[in-house]
Structure 1
Amino acid sequence: MRILLLGGTTEARELAGLLAGEHHVTTSLAGRTRAPRWPDGDVRVGGFGGVDGLAAFLRAERIELLVDATHPFAATMSGHAVAAGALIGVPLLVVRRPGWSAAPGDEWHRVASLAEAAVTVRTHRWRRVFLTTGRQGLSVFAELDECWFLARSVEPPDAPAPRQLRVLLDRGPFTVDGERALLAEHRIDVLVTKDSGGSDAKLVAARALGVPVLMVDRPPVLAAPTVPTADAAAAWINETAFDQTDTGWSKP
């Protein structure tokens, strides 16, 4: 099977490795990270040029299955995948790790967006803020001059950024002990993060220290078959045969 894997996540790299040798897999990376972790199989870097560009690529490369294993907050790319697959009749499988759930002892404040998170920080008068929302989201906090921010990302943040800002360039996985030490050292009042799932070391550390968490909710779930792990995706792909008909693709 010829598979296009929209990647950039741990699950995407794992899935590419699981499928190597069984299928022809091309992983697409957005190209926003200068030193990405390279997956097995073929790799392309850069955008497609919207829905029409992605559809043209699927057609030109004779792709038989499109797999969206992007970050849970890559809503634009995920939307393009749904539309392009439907446009030319290529089936779509979504790989989404489960989100986080609050546990006893957590003080979580769920918000719908980063903009709402910034308003909530100001409303609660939190002054020392730990941002783990990625480098592209710092601009919404740029006008909170009364706050001091610690931001962690793989790449340097985009401008504009908060005036009082310390940036940690680092890549996980992180340990609970390390996260506790970081929160304590910088006297953090609130942790701001996205509900991306995966390792929850920072959430466990925040719970232990009584640090509130601002949790940004995920975009809406896609209307497509969805599995939670790379193993589940590989099983789904290897156990599924697709029949092409006059009206598109159908699972027997």
Structure 2
Amino acid sequence: MKPVTIGIAGWTLPRADAELFPPAAFGSNLARYAEVFDAVEINSSFYRPHKPETYARWAESVPAGFRFAVKLPRTVTHEKRLQDIEPDLDRFVAEAGALGAKLGWVLVQTPPSLRFDPAAAEALFAALRARLDATAESSASASHAGPVLACEARHGSWFGGEATALMRSMGVTRVVADPPAGEPGPFAATCAGAAYVRLHGSPLIYRSIYEPERLAQVAAWLRGQQGRALVIFDNTMSGTQVRQALQLREMLTSSPS
């Protein structure tokens, strides 16, 4: 995979950007999207389960190098609040694991009201990692590394020293979110070799457009990172997410001024 992979939350293709993708006769919206971008974030998994057959069909409709980021269900984080979640994790991994080697990231997003509980967080990350690794090892597509685990916490207690140390020791990537909900101070990375950036739109979440100056700042930050990074444009209500993602990609491929 490329050091910086850029994608969008979902593969809805804005009508105004139709000419940027292959024509409808090419195939599904996902297949058309995957001709332009190398990754996509699935948020619908947060709200409802998808059958393994659905994930497998999605995997079959994209090129070999394409990767999916899949959001953990809200039953785990928001409803059960990390308690008694083993059956939910079993179901999620059995479903999303059908993506095989194309499952690149699993995103854990906790609610703003959920405080950091070290025992619960460690149990979640360990259980999720064990299941994902087992699925990767048993994949018919030969052995491959399990997906990156990323966490977007939104309560200030998840940004303290204890939480940072735990995430570092367990190899969990702290999401760089804009706006940074719950983050009380400067961003502290937890994985030197991986970054997961979610651009929600700021100041109006999901709606705000990122001006070229702001995208240039994002590009400069990415150039200074080591290892692999994923950037997801989640400002989908702005209707500009496709062109902004392509603009950032162009900035990264051109020489910095």
Bigger RCO of structures 1 and 2 (CA < 8 A, at least 6 apart)? 1
User: Which one has a larger percent helix, Structure 1 or Structure 2?
Assistant: 2
User: Which one has a larger percent strand, Structure 1 or Structure 2?
Assistant: 1
**What TM-score, normalized to structure 2?**
0.28
